[in-house]
Amino acid sequence: MQIRNPILSGFYPDPSICRVEDWFYMVNSTFAYFPGIPIFRSRDLACWEQIGNVLERNSQVSLEGCGHSEGIYAPTIRYHEGVYYVIATNVSGGGNFIVTAGHPEGPWSEPYFLGEKAQGIDPSLFFDEDGSCYYIGQRENSGGSRYFGDCEIWIQKLDLERMELVGESHPVLYGFEKNAVWPEGPHLYKKDGWYYILHAEGGTERNHCIAAARSREVFGPYEYCPANPILTHRHLGRDYPVTCVGHGDLTEDGNGNWYMVMLGSRPEMEHTLMGRETFLAKVVWEDGWPVVNPGIGRLETFVEISGFREKSMEPGINADIQEHSKVYTFEKEKFPPEFLFLRNPREGMILSGVEGMFLRMHMNPAVLREQTFPCYAALRFRDRSFAVETELELKTDSEYHCGGMALVQSNDWHFRLECYAVPQTKVRLTACLGGKEVVLGELLLEKGRRFQLRVDVDGLKGSFFCRTTEKSFDKEDRQDPQIWGDWKYVMENVDLRPLSTEKAGGFVGCTAGMYASGNGQADSGYADFAWFSYKTF
């Protein structure tokens, strides 16, 4: 069977994986987005279905005031004696925490925060053969930081009944390179009498890599693999199609076959819009060490694996992870699990299932350039070339109120395609570039409060379209040219490189979604969205 990389395209960094009987489960970082930590399942490592989100209640996570690259870092998923565990870091409040569930779909518990003993980030759990549980994580060098990025990997026993670290804390590794920077993302395993640590190193950019170490005792001493780094693309040059490879986790399929998931980026002309994605590689063991993609030593577009049936997902589940085209309607109150919101959305501000057909966004004062709670419901960029469309109707008498769509990298770097109905009907394209707002284009339209918007993303270029009608909403006329007429350009071939990680910085990829704002003003106005579509070119 052949798997195509990436196995999760788009902003799905820091993957962690575990297997329970015939199912593999995987989680990823979400940073400032809510709900937090998507959870996927697969029978064959190729076809992944999102079955929910671990942090889906405001009581579980506070993201108030956090920047786009703050919030929830590097979750790990593990299973032990009928209980699923996810451990992660909220760098914006509370630190390292554990949530548990009896079923991976949830519901997941309220967080157990591990307190000041659990310093640092990137925690993971390991269950030994005697049932003991160990915490492994990253923190600043406890012997004194000599330079920026001087960190250590450390292990301590965890009492699961009290959810408390007990005993001594043991620093075990400082990175395999001389004056190593950012050893992080550690995971602990046991195989053939050896304890193995897998960790990232070199920072999350082009020097990212994965290293392995082993010991006969859980607290060490650990020896590094003589072939480290066991995986990196740092030596392949800027033009190689996959870069920044690191942050891996291992799994075994039950038949002795081993695999690794890890993050990587796919830049286009040295600019990355989709962020860090999830990739897969084969692993074999030679002389007691893991070898990644033997004979190749790097990530490949296609991975040959054995022991799985073709299209082994259950009927009704989309088995083609590369096909992301879908039209979303809003008859139900519950959002599809892949939708994202910025920070914790305020209750009642974004509602699905209104009148059995609309997504309603109320005109709260918040705007995207602020680290607050804007009305924004979005999907990740999943492809290099795609189109997003939506239809909305404005219900407001304020000249400040708008509704529309946005392409978002962060508060300071985004594009907004905004519709206004007062004092005249218009659509405006605004770019926020490093926190500075620039109006790129504005189109005056015939009177109407019902709009259709479209954004075509083609690599590093974007084209923005609109059309309007005075006719009341009818779900049968979505594409009726007699009702809507032709699309009108607001602006074409806009340079989208400001949305790239290389320009904006940070750890996240781009999202595209529906947006509404009172632009500092609040009253009873709102925008009703009838549908939202994502179509791969």
Contact 183, 147 (CB under 8 A): no
Provide CATH code, domain 15-231: 2.115.10.20
Instruction: Please state, in angstroms and rounded to a whole number, the distance separating the CA atoms of residues 231 and 470.
Output: 58
Contact 94, 62 (CB under 8 A): yes
Q: Where are the domains of the chain?
A: 15-231, 326-536
Instruction: Please state, in angstroms and rounded to a whole number, the distance separating the CA atoms of residues 389 and 509.
Output: 20
How are strands ordered across the β-sheet holding 151-159? 121-127, 133-140, 151-159, 164-173
Provide CATH code, domain 326-536: 2.60.120.200
Cis peptide before 6 (omega within 30 of 0): yes
Residue 353 region, left (φ>0) first, then alpha (ψ -120 to 50), else beta?
A: left
Cβ atoms within 10 Å, residue 533: 16
Residue ranges in the chain whose pLDDT is less than 50: 312-322
Q: Tell me what pLDDT residue 321 has.
A: 44
Cα distances (Å, whole numbers) of residue 115 to 74, 96, 164, 166, 339: 18, 7, 8, 12, 31
Instruction: Please state, in angstroms and rounded to a whole number, the distance separating the CA atoms of residues 390 and 328.
Output: 9
Run of H or E including 520: none
Catalytic positions, please? 14, 184
Q: Tell me what pLDDT residue 424 has.
A: 87
For the stretch 473-521, pLDDT in tens is 766 666 676 777 789 999 999 999 999 999 999 999 999 999 999 888 8
Closest CA to 313 of 524, 127, 50: 50
Q: Tell me what pLDDT residue 478 has.
A: 64
Instruction: Please state, in angstroms and rounded to a whole number, the distance separating the CA atoms of residues 148 and 335.
Output: 42
The distance of Cα 365 from the centroid of its chain, to the nearest Å, equals 27
Run of H or E including 218: none
Could you tell me which residues come within 8 angstroms of residue 250 by beta carbon, excluding any fewer than 6 positions away?
17, 187, 189, 198, 258, 259, 260, 283, 290
Run of H or E including 407: strand 402-408
Q: Tell me what pLDDT residue 479 has.
A: 65
Residue for token digits 């990389």? 5
Buried b (16+ CB within 10 A) or exposed e, 63-73: beebbbbbbbb
Could you tell me which residues come within 8 angstroms of residue 219 by beta carbon, excluding any fewer than 6 positions away?
155, 170, 172
Strand partners, 195: 190, 215
Q: Tell me what pLDDT residue 310 has.
A: 57
Contact 36, 30 (CB under 8 A): yes
The reply to whether 326-536 shares the fold of 15-231 is no
Type of residue found at 69:
S
- Model confidence, pTM: 0.94
Alpha carbons within 13 angstroms on the beta-carbon side of residue 103 total 5
Instruction: Please state, in angstroms and rounded to a whole number, the distance separating the CA atoms of residues 392 and 396.
Output: 12
